[in-house]
Structure 1
Amino acid sequence: MPQNSYEILKSLPVPSKGPFKPTWSSLKKYRIPTWFTNSKFGIFIHWGVYSVPAFGNEWYPRYMYMPDRSEHQYHLKNFGPVTNFGYKDFIPMFSAENWDPYEWAKLFKKSGAKFVVLVAEHHDGFALWESNYTRWCATKIGPKRDIVRELREAVEGQGLIFGISYHRAEHWWFFDQGMKIESDVRDPKYFDLYGPAQPASLNPRDPPSKDNAPPDDEFLMDWLLRIVEAVEKYRPWLVYFDWWIANPSFQPYLKAFASYYYNRSYKWGIEPVIIFKQGAFEEGTAIPYLAERGTIKNVYPSTWLADTSIDYKSWGYIKDAEYKSPSFILSHLGDVASKNGVFLLNIGPKADGTIPEEAKRILLDVGDWLNLTSSPPWKGEGSLPEGSSFPPSVRVYIPHLVGSRVAQRTTPTKDGTFIARL
């Protein structure tokens, strides 16, 4: 197996020639695209087989194999023992029978979002695209539709930018709890779905041990080939990685991927973005993710990403979702945008492909507010010296006084009043 970034790059089944070499020094020639810096607001989508049980959160596939978890008890009560009805048995129930990608795209456009990111594969290992590397993908079982392709076409038809999120790194250990009990995870017939199911720490930087097996070259190369396949098929403008790529074993593969993706993108006329977490990439080679369900304290010197879910409890759809208010989301968006960040708002559609009505309403309310003015509220010049003057055509934001205090942030409502945060 290849051992360094150059060998890995040469082993890919596609050309990758261009100015970017698989080294951090070369990758620092990357420049953040203006489209991403100016976008400020995108939609994130967690939709998959985990939307079928719709209980707990999108980690149901892991927790259902842990006897001390409520998901396990829920599973026993509603579906039976995990020896008879495992996670694989939810896949045919992920039907997407009412899914209209064009309806989704129109809603996202109305929300004011500028780009859309679909989780193309979550930790569960089920790919939403037509893959030659697995039988566990949406075109072969379940919906029997190429979800990535259909959504990309619909999103781009609305003038929005399309990206994908790839969470397969976590699959190395995601089903390991099923190996500790009697379950279908231990059945060799399904190893290509549940495997490798290795014991590992959820902290990617913990040192290797008997309880923390680092991913091997076979897994890492497969991880790379699958994302390269998706990029070749769908040419996304953005690729988002979850946190476990920060495991040191991924380093040469990350450099190889970035070199490949940047070179291919520029050949295609795409302005590419890679999102990373926990220092997996060196500074200046991609865009850092700095806050989950939150923000940062001060302005960051370059563009960064934060995300949150529309639901307080889950990223995927669950029956008892607790939705955030539009004003809460707008406040979060404004805070991130004011600190040089880009805000990604997640929704969790149902297994049949419909977006919950409450989530729709919230997205439309957010869009109504963003469309109150002809330009987004984050396009501004910052503070100016006392005594500055402006022509009548320029709109100026003036902080509101509440009593004797200046509001940190004010949110206009449709009736012309303001919600002030002190």
Structure 2
Amino acid sequence: MSDKALYQPTAESLSSHEVPDWFLDAKFGIFIHWGPYSIPAFAPHKLAIDKIDPADEKQGFANTPYAAWYQNTMLFEDGATARYHAETYGSDYPYERFGEAFNASLSGWDPVAWARLFRRSGAGYVVLVTKHHDGFALWPSEVENPNRPGWHTERDVVGELAEAVRAEGLKFGVYYSGGVDWTFKHQRIESFMDFMTSIPGEAEGYTDYATAQYEELITRYRPDYLWNDIAYPSAQASYDVLAKYYNAVPEGLTNDRWIAPDGQLPADAFDKPEGLTGLLPPKPAVWDVRTPEYGMFDRILPFVWETTRGMGHSFAYNRNETDADYLTRDDLVAMLARAACFNGNVLLNVGPRGDTVIPPGQAERLEAAGAWLETAGPSILGTRPVELPEREAGGVPVGATRRDGALYLHVFGVPEAQTLKVSLPEGLGPVTSVTQYGGEVSDWSVDAGRLSLTVPTWADTAVQSFKLES
């Protein structure tokens, strides 16, 4: 790479980076939340994160469904997590002991088996949480934590999983909690303001520490995706990290969770684009992909996005959740198709148990997604979104994608009638054939830009996908 091509640590230079084609092609990624919090594996079994009453922030944080927040929720003395902790481990049992238990469990971990399951799911990439808010690193970092020496895995979880995933032909990314590290600064978080003021920085020696760990991750593992969470203690330090990353991995990308206490936000940082569901982090100065949490967009917008969510209400494994709390097969395949139609990806989390086992119900969902993509994958993977003149047909939502000159129609749900009429996008050449993935088409015709198709039966309970060749 010539000097002229190097990215500089400035917002202007870094903003010229483009989302790589591999990410646009992949459509589906696997997120993994796994760490010391997976040992107690407990969160109150209440509402989904986007259903919690925003007017009662304290109760929201006390009853968060996110099991990875165990170290914070156990501080609410009258809360369900504190009661569970006292009854199960004893009130004087420190969270740090879970790090010891997690390290002990790793002797039974098989990263190859995980990677093979992820490949069978049809996913194109995997993002591993390498350090969550508890500060525990999933690699034997040479950057010593000054407040909790040895607070990391003895086994190189990051390196072994990266090797296994890449051996299956998938891309590998790393999540890092850049904005929160409770080994440097932790007060009980019970409001959004607490959350933001809990970001450690120069005063705690955290900025240099986090940047050094990021540099270690980039140098050792050359991640295809750098997924930061919450924020970063310094805007300039974030630019330094991203410049190093883009120059080391030009075909990599990053997300949109890089706001900094000393940074300048865009004027529209807190805007909620039309068609959004779920939670959307504030937009920083530099980003490649927007990442709504437990939400999506229902239309094509002028940016790439990636919805991220757990199988249930929690990212990390929560022993209180049952199979009934997880997305159904139909929920999952509809989410994959909708994201593809509206310029998005799906980053679906698996939460392995503390004994290294991916819960059977979660593994079953991954296998189901893979089975569906085995049939309908050509209409999803490697495609780009297409705007249709109408968003509904036959009383159900519709969307479209394109690839290699073909147009793919996606009908969400099961129309009541066997005949459906859909307005086609302008500029489409004469249609020469119409086929249904997993089913048949009895008859079809196009008149004045409107497709009429009839099927003997709808092929799927969640998404009907058709290929139109022209």
Which of the five TM-score ranges fits, normalised by the shorter chain? 0.7 to 0.9
Structure 1 gap ranges (5+): 1-15, 175-193, 387-392
- Give the 3-state SS of the residue equivalent to 2:180 in structure 1: helix
More strand by share: 2
The 8 Å contact of residues 97 and 352 in structure 1, kept in 2 or not, is answered as: no
- State the partner residue of 1:134: 144
Matched, 1:382 2:378: no
The 8 Å contact of residues 105 and 155 in structure 1, kept in 2 or not, is answered as: yes
CA separation of 1:417/1:375 partners in 2, compared to 1, >3 Å: closer, same or farther?
closer
Q: Which among 50, 72, 77 is matched to residue 82 of structure 2? A: 72
Report the RMSD for the aligned CA atoms in angstroms.
Answer: 3.4
Structure 2 gap ranges (5+): 44-66, 258-280, 391-404, 424-435, 440-456, 465-470
Percentage of pairs with the same residue: 30
Q: Which among 30, 35, 45 is matched to residue 48 of structure 1? A: 35
Q: Which among 253, 261, 264 is matched to residue 237 of structure 2? A: 253
Higher relative CO (Cα under 8 Å, sequence separation at least 6) belongs to 1
The 8 Å contact of residues 72 and 189 in structure 2, kept in 1 or not, is answered as: no
Alpha-carbon distance in structure 1 between the residues aligned to 2:4 and 2:408: 48
Within 5 Å, give how 1:9-24 maps onto structure 2.
19-24=6-11
Matched, 1:93 2:101: yes
CA separation of 1:250/1:198 partners in 2, compared to 1, >3 Å: closer, same or farther?
farther
Matched, 1:262 2:246: yes
Within 5 Å, give how 1:15-414 maps onto structure 2.
19-56=6-43, 57-82=67-92, 85-94=93-102, 95-134=105-144, 144-171=154-181, 174=182, 194-197=183-186, 203=192, 215-216=201-202, 218-245=205-232, 249-266=233-250, 271-277=251-257, 278-279=281-282, 281-282=284-285, 285-311=286-312, 313-321=313-321, 322-373=325-376, 375-377=378-380, 379=383, 382=386, 397=409, 399=411, 401-403=415-417
CA drift of 1:397 comes to 3.1
The 8 Å contact of residues 180 and 199 in structure 2, kept in 1 or not, is answered as: no
Amino acid across the alignment from 1:89: R
Q: Deviations over 1:64-110 (max 9, x none)?
A: 1220221001001111123xx11011112112232110000000000
CA separation of 1:213/1:230 partners in 2, compared to 1, >3 Å: closer, same or farther?
closer
The 8 Å contact of residues 298 and 338 in structure 2, kept in 1 or not, is answered as: no
Alpha-carbon distance in structure 1 between the residues aligned to 2:327 and 2:408: 29
Amino acid across the alignment from 1:317: Y
Q: Deviations over 1:260-294 (max 9, x none)?
A: 1111224xxxx111112334532xx4323341111
Alpha-carbon distance in structure 1 between the residues aligned to 2:376 and 2:317: 32
Alpha-carbon distance in structure 2 between the residues aligned to 1:323 and 1:66: 27
Amino acid across the alignment from 2:129: V
Which sits farther off after the overlay, 297-306 or 145-154?
Answer: 297-306
CA separation of 1:407/1:53 partners in 2, compared to 1, >3 Å: closer, same or farther?
farther
Amino acid across the alignment from 1:402: E
The 8 Å contact of residues 98 and 354 in structure 1, kept in 2 or not, is answered as: no
Alpha-carbon distance in structure 2 between the residues aligned to 1:225 and 1:297: 39
CA drift of 1:419 comes to 2.5
- Give the 3-state SS of the residue equivalent to 1:113 in structure 2: coil
Aligned residue pairs total 362
Alpha-carbon distance in structure 2 between the residues aligned to 1:198 and 1:398: 48
Structure 2-normalised TM-score?
0.69
Q: Deviations over 1:242-275 (max 9, x none)?
A: 1233xxx421111111111111224xxxx11111
The 8 Å contact of residues 126 and 136 in structure 1, kept in 2 or not, is answered as: no
The 8 Å contact of residues 31 and 348 in structure 2, kept in 1 or not, is answered as: yes
CA drift of 1:32 comes to 1.3
- Give the 3-state SS of the residue equivalent to 1:371 in structure 2: helix
